[in-house]
Amino acid sequence: MSQDDRPSGTVERTDVIARTRVLDGKYRLGRLIGEGGMGAVYEAEHEGLRARVAVKLLGEHGALDPKSVSRFRREARAMGAIRHENVVSVMDTGTDDEGSPYLVMELLEGESLAAVLRRERSLSPGLTCWIADQVLAGLEAAHARGVVHRDLKPGNIFLARRSDGSHRVKILDFGISKLGGDANTLNVTAEGAMIGTPHFMAPEQITGEAASDARADLYAVGVLLYRMVTGRLPYVGTSSEELYQLVLVGQVARPSTLNPEVPAELEAVILRAMAADRTRRYQDASSVRAALRQVAALVPGELPTATAGLPAPPLLPVHSPPTPSSATVPARPLAVPRAARARRRTMLWFALGGALVFALAAAGAIWLTRHQGAAAPSGPLLHYGIVQYSSADKVEAAHRPILDYLSRRTGRPVELVQTADEKELLDRFFAGGLEVAALSPYAYVRAMRRGSPGLTLLAKPVTPDGPSYQGVILTRADSGIRALSGLAGKRFCYVNPGSTSGYLYPRALLRAAGLDPDRSFSSTSFGQEHLNTLRLLDRGACDGAAVFAGVLRAGERAGMPAARFFQLAATERIPYDAYAVPASTPAAEAKAIGDALLALEPGSELARKVFAGSEGEIIGFTTAADADYEPVRRIEEFMTGSDGAPQPQQPSPSPSSPSPSPSPQR
């Protein structure tokens, strides 16, 4: 049926929210699970089997890079070569319609070891042995197939929760693995270059020896063990060069000096696994595993129950290492020797006494708080800067959970500083008036272009949509406009000049379509906020509008169904705000702020508590790298004038009052 043949009042189906993508006619993509430099991982469903899986899809830029494609395919081959319960399973591979490779993996629920360590800092010797036992079991299987991982770290170890509530450890990300049969052809990093994550790299990886073998993975296991029982990394340098030198020398503080609870037997295993001379290390994963099992038989451990997280209580006592047939968490406590039961009763009385003292102290603290006011943080004031992208009260409310959390973590009072625009924000930031700032993607790339004095990138926020988002240009579904060119001579609405998805990016899309963002429209307006801009479009105050895609959900809640709109164009995925400190910030202070933000891992108990009832959309933070903002940098270079700033037409005032804006800045 043609457009003219449709019954009156019929609203055409639109692509405002992109149609669910199906790969190879089999895998229907769903929510974004994670995103990195290589691409993104999505939850998906097999169309025929209705089975839930995870699909890792190489990004469009990576698909154009032969090295990225080679690394991605190597990961698929390496993981496909291993069939073991402690290695994430690969079920299928393929290439999408645009030539980007993808791989299909089992869908895991749980959390990474990195998240656990950020929350708990250190683990008991027993739980440490239990986790390492399963990591080594997976490595045994990988090494038997000639696969060396080369990038073991807490972020690549996943504590998967099974349907019965038990947990199993899974090794992830074989992206820089080395396959024995193809060591030369598959190593896309040049010989002599370093491969891995510095803190977990064996000395032979730092020196770039082409002959590094499975013993490099065993060294990384030693570092993992050290990190789990002490809460610290074995080597920390003020620069990469200093860190590398410390690793090469190999003089590490004994774990027991950092944690007296570390048994001598476990310490001996850790130090041997971390020997700088690989001939003095364990020579295979089974040897390390056997040594750890002897240690596990001597120390009480802690395992999560079917309903608890890791390693939050209630915890189950363990006094013997798990057998190969019972690598998952047992459903009930194991037998405990009589002497241990006596010790436990004694410890229980101490715990009850301590709990009583704590309760009395807490009651006193509550009384003092109510009668004298809560004690204020005593450190120097920490100024937290951000552009005022909405009303001052709304920006304050959206960021209040982060301000209060940072104050508690750093012991310093935190003051929110709202600036009129990004120029003022950057001027104050580089002048030393701000200790930390939430820079929009646009502000971040401009700050980096300024060069000295520079900044240190700490983290980026995550929302329910993930660590990035898309901008869209919309029209009304009943407008008859089906291409950007159809907006010529029409009325157009932006969000505000500081919005990446509501101003900067769409101007580039318009130019690419042959339209002048400042002269091709009969009029332009600023809606100031995304939801209000969508409302202007819905009410007919403009014929086209630029907003971020996620605002359509807010529009649904505000009585504006997505079917009322038609998507004319969409941007690349845009990272959220860059949280940064000035380069002059002392390393310890920058680390304290960065660690505090990254401890708010999305979905973690801590993040849920901090953001409970928040008026913003931030649900946590994740690591950020300068490369994440490369798409914004390309657009920024394309859209700036001779003075390095956009040249906007002065739009007419918004004909409607602003409505609440989501956060972070978009």
Please list the active-site residues: 151
What CA–CA distance (Å, rounded) separates 229 from 652?
61
**Among 557, 567, 558, CA closest to 470:** 567
- State the number of CA atoms in the 13 A half-sphere of 433 facing the CB: 13
Residue found under tokens 């190593």: 187
What CA–CA distance (Å, rounded) separates 123 from 112?
14
Residues 6 or more apart whose CB falls under 8 angstroms from that of 431 comprise: none
The neighbour count for residue 480, using CB atoms within 10 Å, is: 11
Which residues pair with residue 579 across a beta bridge?
A: 438, 459
Cβ pair 194, 202 in contact under 8 A: no
Q: What angle do CA 124, 126, 127 make, to 5 degrees?
A: 70
Cβ pair 252, 274 in contact under 8 A: yes
> What is the residue type of 646?
P
Separation of CA 609 from chain center: 18
Residue 612: what are its φ and ψ, rounded to 5°? -60, 125
- State the number of CA atoms in the 13 A half-sphere of 217 facing the CB: 29
Q: What angle do CA 535, 504, 510 make, to 5 degrees?
A: 80
The secondary structure of residue 473, as a DSSP letter, is: E
Assign 517 to helix, strand or coil: coil
- The encoded tokens of residue 386 equal 């951000």
Longest dimension (CA), the chain: 87
What CA–CA distance (Å, rounded) separates 662 from 658?
12
Give the burial string for 74-102 (b: 16+ CB within 10 Å, else e). Answer: bbbbbbbbbebebbbbbebbeebeeebbb
Going from the C-alpha of 368 to that of each of 54, 365, 405, 412, the distances in angstroms are: 51, 5, 21, 21
Rounded to 10 deg, the angle between the 215-230 and 125-144 helix axes is 170
What CA–CA distance (Å, rounded) separates 641 from 648?
10
Give the burial string for 336-351 (b: 16+ CB within 10 Å, else e). Answer: eeeeeeeeeeeeeeee
Residue 161: what are its φ and ψ, rounded to 5°? -90, 125
Residues 340-347: contacts with CB within 8 Å, 24+ apart? Answer: 340/300, 344/317
Indicate the burial class of 591 (C-beta count within 10 angstroms; 0-12, 13-18, 19 or more): middle
**Among 199, 121, 166, 209, CA closest to 308:** 166
What CA–CA distance (Å, rounded) separates 197 from 214?
16
Cβ pair 256, 285 in contact under 8 A: no
The neighbour count for residue 427, using CB atoms within 10 Å, is: 13
